């Protein structure tokens, strides 16, 4: 408490602190306005590229499908949150999520960016858990569970086997070379270039090489762009293009463990003999549990 008659400190001319923000009220308003314009810029950039992707839809499909192969897997793992534990083959969570998964879109902006589902699996349990939790291995004795970015909520782990007839394996990225040639031709509107310069952003351009596609597709922090700018991430755009081409699954390597993972597009199994099924017996008291994702069951699992 200040002594009676003591001179109170003056804040005139000083920066003030607003909760956890440092600066003047005017600078705070300017920062929020800049953030809103930045989001508008990214939305306009995304829209311009999306239009060209749609126009080149048939060419893109023709560039991806020849690289697809049949893929069989046994005893792969899927981590399922407890609320979906009675339907472990359900992909509903992937579209209800505010962002979605690496290769599918959730509720980022449903009217502007339509959601679509994917079912995610991994070669082993640790990779399935790392992919779901976002943790990384530590060299100091801590496990990915200790460093998980999300809470360790209740979950179930299921073993699954299956066969995918049209799988795109992007493990080394070489299969994406024809795609890179197509999207590298997309022009960027000059007004977007000027807008980026005004915002002091990197000059926008199409991703035009396999290396750049893989760099953006396999980002560790791929969720940052959807969260901050309300646009789908490059990996989600690749998922959309693959799904539109009729591809049933994308096989990729976890950026956390390096082990193989799979993103299955359930609705593309509608006219296919492909399937994913549970390995273990299910409790008889749950007769409604669907054991197999295939051409007949997929509508109930999205």
The answer on pLDDT for 110 being more than 50 is: yes
Q: What is the pLDDT of residue 28?
A: 76
Euclidean distance between the first and the last CA atom of the chain, given in angstroms as a whole number: 62
- How does residue 145 score in pLDDT terms, banded at 50, 70 and 90? low
More confident residue, 205 or 234: 234
Burial 42-80 (b: 16+ CB within 10 A, else e): bbbbbebbbeebeebeeebeebbeebbeebebeebbbbb
The answer on pLDDT for 5 being more than 70 is: no
Using DSSP's 3-state secondary structure scheme, residue 115 falls into coil
Using DSSP's 3-state secondary structure scheme, residue 22 falls into strand
Using DSSP's 3-state secondary structure scheme, residue 111 falls into coil
Q: What percent of the chain has pLDDT over 70?
A: 86
pTM for the structure as a whole: 0.85
8-17, 18-27, 57-66, 112-121: which range is least confident on average?
Answer: 8-17
pLDDT digits over 48-104, tens only? 999 999 999 999 999 999 999 999 999 999 999 988 989 999 999 999 999 999 999
State mean pLDDT over 10-27.
Answer: 52
- How does residue 23 score in pLDDT terms, banded at 50, 70 and 90? low
Query: What's 5's DSSP letter?
Result: T
Q: Which residues pair with 161 in a beta bridge?
A: 277
The answer on pLDDT for 144 being more than 70 is: no
The answer on pLDDT for 213 being more than 90 is: yes
State mean pLDDT over 184-206.
Answer: 90
11-15, 89-93, 103-107, 185-189: which range is least confident on average?
Answer: 11-15
State mean pLDDT over 13-17.
Answer: 43
The answer on pLDDT for 14 being more than 60 is: no
- How does residue 260 score in pLDDT terms, banded at 50, 70 and 90? very high
**What residue segments make up the domains of the chain, in order of their start?**
59-187+206-301
Q: What is the pLDDT of residue 17?
A: 42
Q: What is the pLDDT of residue 18?
A: 40
pLDDT digits over 268-295, tens only? 999 999 999 999 998 888 889 999 999 9
The answer on pLDDT for 7 being more than 70 is: no
**Mean pLDDT over all residues of the chain?**
88
Q: How far apart are CA 52 and CA 48, in angstroms?
A: 7
Sign of CA dihedral 50, 241, 259, 298: positive
- How does residue 147 score in pLDDT terms, banded at 50, 70 and 90? low
- Give the Cβ contact number of residue 193 at 10 Å: 14
The answer on pLDDT for 249 being more than 60 is: yes
Q: What is the pLDDT of residue 164?
A: 98
| Contact by Cβ (8 Å): 259, 129 | no
138-152, 169-183, 234-248: which range is least confident on average?
Answer: 138-152
The answer on pLDDT for 16 being more than 50 is: no
């Amino acid at each position: 408490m200040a002594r009676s008659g003591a001179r109170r400190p003056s804040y005139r001319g000083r920066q003030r602190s607003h909760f956890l923000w440092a600066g003047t009220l005017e600078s705070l308003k300017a920062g929020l306005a800049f953030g809103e314009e930045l989001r508008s810029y990214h939305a306009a950039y995304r829209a311009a590229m999306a239009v060209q992707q749609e126009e080149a839809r048939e060419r893109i499909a023709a560039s991806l499908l020849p690289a697809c192969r049949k893929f069989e897997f046994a005893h792969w793992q899927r981590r399922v949150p407890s609320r979906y534990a009675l339907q472990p083959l359900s992909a509903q969570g992937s579209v209800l999520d505010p962002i979605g998964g690496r290769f599918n879109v959730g509720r980022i902006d449903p009217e502007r960016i339509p959601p679509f589902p994917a079912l995610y699996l991994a070669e082993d349990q640790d990779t399935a858990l790392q992919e779901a939790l976002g943790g990384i291995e530590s060299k100091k004795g801590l496990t990915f569970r200790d460093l998980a970015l999300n809470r360790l909520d209740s979950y179930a782990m299921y073993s699954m086997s299956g066969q995918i007839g049209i799988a795109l394996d992007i493990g080394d990225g070489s299969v994406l070379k024809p795609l890179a040639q197509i999207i590298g031709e997309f022009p960027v509107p000059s007004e977007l270039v000027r807008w980026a310069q005004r915002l002091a952003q990197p000059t926008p351009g199409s991703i035009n090489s396999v290396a750049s596609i893989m760099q953006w597709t396999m980002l560790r922090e791929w969720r940052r762009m959807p969260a901050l700018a309300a646009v789908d991430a490059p990996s989600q755009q690749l998922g959309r293009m693959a799904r539109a081409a009729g591809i049933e699954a994308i096989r990729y390597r976890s950026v956390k463990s390096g082990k193989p993972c799979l993103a299955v597009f359930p609705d593309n199994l509608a006219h296919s003999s492909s399937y994913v099924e549970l390995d273990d017996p299910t409790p008889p008291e749950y007769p409604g549990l669907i054991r197999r994702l295939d051409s007949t069951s997929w509508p109930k699992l999205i």
